[in-house]
Amino acid sequence: MNDRVTKEDILKELFNISVGQSASLLSEVIEKRILLNVPEVRVINYKENPSECNSYIPKVIEGALMISSISFKEELAGKASLVFPAEKMRTFINLCMHENTDFIPYDLNFTEVDFDIVKEIGNLVLNSIIGELGNFINVKFNYTIPEIKVINEMNIDKVVEDEDYTYILMLYITFNIEDTEIDGAITINLKLKSLDELLNKIGIIEEGFNE
Amino acid sequence: MNSLLHNTLNCINEGIVLLNEKLEIIFWNDYMEYLTKLNLDAVIGKNIYDILPNLDKRYFRHSIDDILRNGYSMFFSAAIHKKIIETDRRLNLKIRRIEEENSILFEFTDVTNQFLRIDQLKDYVKELYMLNEKLKEK
C-alpha cells in the first residue's frame, strides 16, 4: 500500500474545508441539513490532449447538465463551474423550495426562478472554493456573479471554452440533502502560471509530509 | 456623488443602495424609497442592519464580510429569501464591492412578474396533468 501523500490528497483536504463551510451556510439558508463532500480531485492537462480529458468526467454526469460558472481575475485568472445532472438539479431545487411535486411529471424545463436558485447555490459554493484557493496562495481576486446554462451532454470543450486555459482542476462533489444524494463535479480552469503557483506551494507541503 | 450619476441612479427601476465600509448608508435611490416607504433622509448614515433588519442573520453577515474582505460578488434569490425587504414584491439581490471607493453596492431587482407567470404556468401544467390522468383511467 502506498502511504505517500500526493498533491491531489492535499488539494482534496483544502477543498473539503471550504465545501464544509459552504454546507453549513447552505443548511442555514434552506433550513435543511446539507452535507458536501469532495471525494476526489484530479489535475488535468487540457492542452496536451483535450479529447482524453473527457475520460475523467465522472460517470454520474450523464444526460442534460446544468452548469453554474463564475470567472475570477487579477493576479490569478480562471473560471470555475459547478456541473450537475439536470434531472438531479430538479430534485435539489424542489428540496430548496420545500416543494412536493410528486404529481408533476418529470420535467427539465427550468424557469428563471429555478436558475436563480442554482445561481445562488453556485455562487456560495464556488466563492468558498476559489476563496480558499486564493487564501492558500495569498492572492485576492475579482469575481463575477454566476452564469447558468443547460447543455445536452458533458463535453470538456463546453466547460473550458477558452483555449488559453492549460489546466483543469476537476473536483468530484457530492451533495447530500435530507438523504438525497446528488453527484456532480466542479471544474476550475487555470492558466499555466496560476496553476504553477498553486502546485509549487502544494509541492512544498507534499515534501514536508513525505520526508 | 455628481448630480448626473445621482439622477441616473434615481431613474432606474432597481433598488440601489450604497454603503461605506462601516455598513452605513451613503446612497438610497428613489426605487428603494418606493419599495420600503423610507425616504433618503430617514436612512442616510444609518447602519444597513437597522434599516433592513431581515438582513441581520449569520448568513448575510458572513457574506457581506466576505464581500468587503475578499471582493466576492454575491447573489441572493427571491425564491430562497422571501422577505429581505418587508414588501409584497419578490426581489433578487446582488451585492458587490466597489473597490476604488471601498464601498458596497446593493442592487434589488423586482422579479414579481416572473413569479406570477411561473405560478400561472404551473397551474396550467397541473391541470393538463390531471386531465391526462383522467383520460388514461377511461
Per-residue pLDDT tens for A3-25? 677 888 888 888 898 888 888 88
CA-to-CA distance for A198 and A137, rounded, in angstroms? Answer: 6
Compare A159 and A209 and report the one with higher pLDDT: A209
pLDDT band at A59 (very low <50, low <70, confident <90, very high): low
Please, what is the angle between helix A7-30 and helix A112-136, to 10°? 140
For A126, nearest residue in chain B (alpha carbons): B72
**Cβ of B46: how many Cβ atoms within 10 Å?**
14
Is A146 close to B125, i.e. CB distance below 8 A?
no
CA-to-CA distance for A120 and B15, rounded, in angstroms? Answer: 19
End-to-end CA distance of chain A: 17
Please tell me the predicted confidence (pLDDT) of residue A51. Answer: 66
Q: What is the arithmetic mean of pLDDT over A113-120?
A: 90
Average of per-residue pLDDT values in chain A: 79
A35: cell is: 452535507
Is A145 within 8 Å of chain B by CB?
A: yes
DSSP β-ladder status, B91-98 and B74-76: antiparallel
CB A15 within 8 A of CB A40: no
Q: What is the arithmetic mean of pLDDT over B35-56?
A: 95
**E strand segments, chain B:** 15-19, 25-28, 74-76, 91-98, 103-110
Contacts of A112 in chain B (CB under 8 A): 111, 114, 118
Whether the predicted model's global pTM rises above the 0.80 cut: yes
pLDDT band at A187 (very low <50, low <70, confident <90, very high): confident
pLDDT at A164 over 80: no
CA distance B6 to chain A (A): 25
CA-to-CA distance for B43 and B36, rounded, in angstroms? Answer: 11
pLDDT band at A72 (very low <50, low <70, confident <90, very high): confident
Of A165-179, B22-36, B49-63, B71-85, the range with the lowest mean pLDDT is A165-179
Please tell me the predicted confidence (pLDDT) of residue A67. Answer: 86
How far, CA to CA in Å, does A86 sit from each of A19, A107, B87?
A: 21, 10, 33
For B118, nearest residue in chain A (alpha carbons): A111
**Cβ of A38: how many Cβ atoms within 10 Å?**
22
